[in-house]
Structure 1
Amino acid sequence: MSETSTQQRPSEDDGGSGAVIPQVEIAQTRVYRGPNYWSYEPSVHLVVDIGGLEEYPTDTLPGFTDALLAAVPGLRTHQCSRGREGGFAERLVEGTWAGHVVEHVALELQRTAGHEITRGKTRSTGQTGVYNVIYGYLDETVGTAAGRMAVRLVNSLVRAALGPDLVGAPTVDADGVSGYGEHYDFAAEHDEFLRMSQRVAFGPSTQAILDEAITRDIPWQRLNSGSLVQLGHGVNQKRIRATMTSVTSSLAVDIASDKELTNRLLAAAGLPVPASEVVRRADDAVRMARRIGYPVVLKPLDGNHGRGVAIDLRDEEAVRAAFDTAYDESRRGYVLVESFIVGKDYRVLVIGGHMVAIAERVPAHVVGDGTHTVAELVDITNADPRRGVGHEKVLTKIAVNDAAVELVRAQGYEMTDVPPLGETVKLALTGNMSTGGISIDRTFEAHPDNVDIAEEAARVVGLDIAGIDFLCPDITQPVRETGGAICEVNAAPGFRMHTHPTIGEPQYVAKPVVDLLFPPGTNARIPIVAVTGTNGKTTCSRMIATIFKGMGRKVGMTSTDGVVIDDRLVIRSDASGPRSAKMVLQNPRVDFAVFEVARGGILREGLGYGRNDVAVVLNVAPDHIGLRGIDTVEQLADVKQVIVEAVPKNGSAVLNADDPLVRNMRRACSGEVVWFSIQPDNRMIADHCRRGGKAVVLEKSELGDLIVLVHGRRRMPLAYTHLLPATFGGKAMFNVQNAMAAAAAAYCAGAHLQDIRGGLRSFSPSYYSAPGRMNMTDVRGINVIVDYCHNAPAMVALGDFVDRFFEDTQTFERPQRIGVIATAGDRRDQDMIDLGVQAAQHFDVIVVREDDRLRGRAPGETAELIAEGARRAQQEGARVRQVDVILDEIESTREAVARANPGDLVVICVDRARAVWDELQVIAGRAQAGAEDV
Structure 2
Amino acid sequence: MKIISKRVYRGKNIYSRKKCIRLDLDLEGYAEIPSKDIEGFNEKIVEYVPELKEHRCGIDVEGGFLIRLKEGTYLSHICEHIIIGLQNRLGIEISYGKAREVKGEHYYIIFQYWYERTALEISNLAIDIINGIIKGQEVDVEKRIEIIKEIKNNEEVGPSTKAIIDSAVKKGLPVFEIDNSGYYQIGYGKQRRIICSTISNFTSCLSSDIACDKFLTKQILDIQNIPVGKISKVRNVIELLKEGEVIGYPLVLKPQYGNKGNGVILNIKNEKELLKAYKEVSKISDEIIIEKYIVGNDYRVCIVNNKVVAVSLRRPPRIVGNGKDTILQLIEKVNEDPLRGEDHEKPLTKIKIDNEVLSKIKEAGYSKEDILENGKEIILRRNANISTGGTAEDVTDKICDENKELLVRAAKAIGLDICGIDVCTDDISLPLKGRGIIVEVNAAPGIRMHHHPSYGEVKDVGQEIVNYLYKGNPKNIPLVAITGTNGKTTTTRMISHVLKMMGNVVGMTSTEGIFIDDKCIDLGDDTGYESAKSILMNNDVDVAVLETARGGMIRKGLAYDLADVGVLTNITEDHLGLDEIYTMEDLAFVKSLVLEEVKEDGYSVINIDDPWSVKILDRVKGNTIYFTKNKENELLKEKILTGGIGVFIDNDYISVVNNNRKYDVIKVSDVPITLDGKIEFNIENSLAACAALVGMGIDYCMISRGFKTFALDSKCNAGRFNMYDVFGRTVILDYGHNGEGYKGVFAAIDKLEKNRVIGVVGIAGDRSDEMAAEIGRLCSDFLDMIIVKEDYDRRGRAPGEMASLIFRNIKNSQKELFIDERDAMKRALEISEEGDLIIVFYEDREKVLSVIEKCKNDNLVENNVKNNLQ
Q: TM-score, normalised by structure 2?
A: 0.91
Question: Residue 206 of structure 1 aligns to which amino acid in structure 2?
Answer: T
Cα RMSD after superposing both structures:
3.3
Report the equivalent of 1:910: 842
1:724, 1:49 → 2: CA distance?
54
Report the equivalent of 1:472: 425
- The answer to whether residue 288 in structure 2 is matched with residue 312 in structure 1 is no
SS in 1 for 2:91: coil
Report the equivalent of 1:150: 126
From 743, 752, 758, give the equivalent of 2:699: 752
Deviation at 1:782, TM superposition (A): 1.7
From 773, 780, 789, give the equivalent of 1:833: 773
Question: Residue 146 of structure 1 aligns to which amino acid in structure 2?
Answer: I
Report the equivalent of 2:792: 852
Structure 1 residues 694 and 265, CA gap change in structure 2 (3 angstroms): same
Report the equivalent of 1:577: 528
From 96, 99, 102, give the equivalent of 1:122: 99
Deviation at 1:908, TM superposition (A): 1.4
Report the equivalent of 2:85: 108
Report the equivalent of 2:8: 31
Deviation at 1:600, TM superposition (A): 0.3
2:104, 2:209 → 1: CA distance?
64
Deviation at 1:624, TM superposition (A): 0.8
Of 425-434 and 37-46, the range deviating more from structure 2: 425-434
Deviation at 1:604, TM superposition (A): 0.4
Question: Residue 784 of structure 2 aligns to which amino acid in structure 1?
Answer: D
Structure 1 residues 926 and 132, CA gap change in structure 2 (3 angstroms): same
Deviation at 1:504, TM superposition (A): 7.0
Contact persistence 1:355–1:451 (CA under 8 A): no
Question: Residue 573 of structure 2 aligns to which amino acid in structure 1?
Answer: P
1:829, 1:901 → 2: CA distance?
33
1:598, 1:439 → 2: CA distance?
52
From 223, 228, 238, give the equivalent of 2:178: 223
Task: For residues 410-467 of structure 1, give each alpha carbon's deviation from its aligned partner in whole angstroms, at most 9, with x where no partner exists.
Answer: 666788x757557767765333344x33223243684546863545544554433221
SS in 1 for 2:763: coil
Contact persistence 2:171–2:474 (CA under 8 A): no
Contact persistence 1:231–1:524 (CA under 8 A): no
Question: Residue 896 of structure 1 aligns to which amino acid in structure 2?
Answer: A
Task: For residues 565-619 of structure 1, give each alpha carbon's deviation from its aligned partner in whole angstroms, at most 9, with x where no partner exists.
Answer: 1111111122100221122111111121111111101110111212212121112
List alignment gaps of at least 5 residues for structure 1.
Answer: 1-23, 160-169, 171-180, 810-814, 875-880
Report the equivalent of 1:514: 466
1:213, 1:832 → 2: CA distance?
50
- The answer to whether residue 640 in structure 2 is matched with residue 689 in structure 1 is yes
- The answer to whether residue 821 in structure 2 is matched with residue 889 in structure 1 is yes
Deviation at 1:250, TM superposition (A): 4.2
Question: Residue 909 of structure 1 aligns to which amino acid in structure 2?
Answer: F
- The answer to whether residue 684 in structure 2 is matched with residue 737 in structure 1 is yes
SS in 1 for 2:544: strand
From 438, 442, 446, give the equivalent of 1:494: 446
2:180, 2:377 → 1: CA distance?
40
SS in 2 for 1:469: strand
Structure 1 residues 328 and 882, CA gap change in structure 2 (3 angstroms): farther
Question: Residue 38 of structure 1 aligns to which amino acid in structure 2?
Answer: Y
Question: Residue 468 of structure 1 aligns to which amino acid in structure 2?
Answer: I
Structure 1 residues 420 and 656, CA gap change in structure 2 (3 angstroms): closer
Deviation at 1:487, TM superposition (A): 1.0
Contact persistence 1:802–1:842 (CA under 8 A): no
Report the equivalent of 1:820: 760
Report the equivalent of 1:20: none
Deviation at 1:640, TM superposition (A): 0.6
1:406, 1:712 → 2: CA distance?
76
Question: Residue 41 of structure 1 aligns to which amino acid in structure 2?
Answer: K
Report the equivalent of 1:548: 499
1:188, 1:308 → 2: CA distance?
32
Of 819-828 and 137-146, the range deviating more from structure 2: 137-146
1:820, 1:63 → 2: CA distance?
65
From 842, 850, 853, give the equivalent of 1:921: 853
Structure 1 residues 432 and 523, CA gap change in structure 2 (3 angstroms): closer
Structure 1 residues 821 and 230, CA gap change in structure 2 (3 angstroms): same
Task: For residues 859-900 of structure 1, give each alpha carbon's deviation from its aligned partner in whole angstroms, at most 9, with x where no partner exists.
Answer: 1111110001113xx3xxxxxx41111001111111111111
Report the equivalent of 1:708: 655
Task: For residues 655-699 of structure 1, give each alpha carbon's deviation from its aligned partner in whole angstroms, at most 9, with x where no partner exists.
Answer: 112210011122111222222222352222122222222222223
Matches within 5 A, 1:73-112: 73-83=50-60, 85-112=62-89
Question: Residue 51 of structure 2 aligns to which amino acid in structure 1?
Answer: G
1:496, 1:40 → 2: CA distance?
29
Deviation at 1:730, TM superposition (A): 2.3
Deviation at 1:831, TM superposition (A): 1.0
Report the equivalent of 1:283: 238
SS in 2 for 1:649: strand
- The answer to whether residue 117 in structure 2 is matched with residue 135 in structure 1 is no
2:319, 2:619 → 1: CA distance?
59
Deviation at 1:799, TM superposition (A): 1.0
SS in 2 for 1:610: coil
From 606, 612, 615, give the equivalent of 2:563: 612
Question: Residue 798 of structure 1 aligns to which amino acid in structure 2?
Answer: V
1:208, 1:795 → 2: CA distance?
54
SS in 1 for 2:599: coil
List alignment gaps of at least 5 residues for structure 2.
Answer: none
Of 377-386 and 229-238, the range deviating more from structure 2: 377-386
Question: Residue 798 of structure 2 aligns to which amino acid in structure 1?
Answer: A
Question: Residue 440 of structure 2 aligns to which amino acid in structure 1?
Answer: E
Contact persistence 1:33–1:609 (CA under 8 A): no
Report the equivalent of 1:678: 629
Structure 1 residues 334 and 150, CA gap change in structure 2 (3 angstroms): closer
2:784, 2:407 → 1: CA distance?
85
From 653, 657, 661, give the equivalent of 2:612: 661
From 163, 166, 181, give the equivalent of 1:208: 163
1:152, 1:303 → 2: CA distance?
43
Deviation at 1:335, TM superposition (A): 3.8
From 756, 767, 772, give the equivalent of 2:714: 767
Contact persistence 2:834–2:863 (CA under 8 A): no
From 731, 738, 752, give the equivalent of 1:784: 731
From 137, 144, 150, give the equivalent of 1:182: 137
1:712, 1:387 → 2: CA distance?
56
Structure 1 residues 908 and 147, CA gap change in structure 2 (3 angstroms): same
Question: Residue 838 of structure 1 aligns to which amino acid in structure 2?
Answer: L
Deviation at 1:65, TM superposition (A): 4.3
From 515, 519, 532, give the equivalent of 2:483: 532
SS in 2 for 1:688: helix
Task: For residues 145-188 of structure 1, give each alpha carbon's deviation from its aligned partner in whole angstroms, at most 9, with x where no partner exists.
Answer: 3333333334444x2xxxxxxxxxx5xxxxxxxxxx51211222
Structure 1 residues 897 and 426, CA gap change in structure 2 (3 angstroms): same
2:670, 2:309 → 1: CA distance?
62
Deviation at 1:558, TM superposition (A): 0.5
SS in 2 for 1:673: strand
Contact persistence 1:233–1:524 (CA under 8 A): no
- The answer to whether residue 299 in structure 2 is matched with residue 346 in structure 1 is yes
From 198, 209, 234, give the equivalent of 1:243: 198
Deviation at 1:903, TM superposition (A): 2.0
SS in 1 for 2:173: coil
Q: TM-score, normalised by structure 1?
A: 0.85
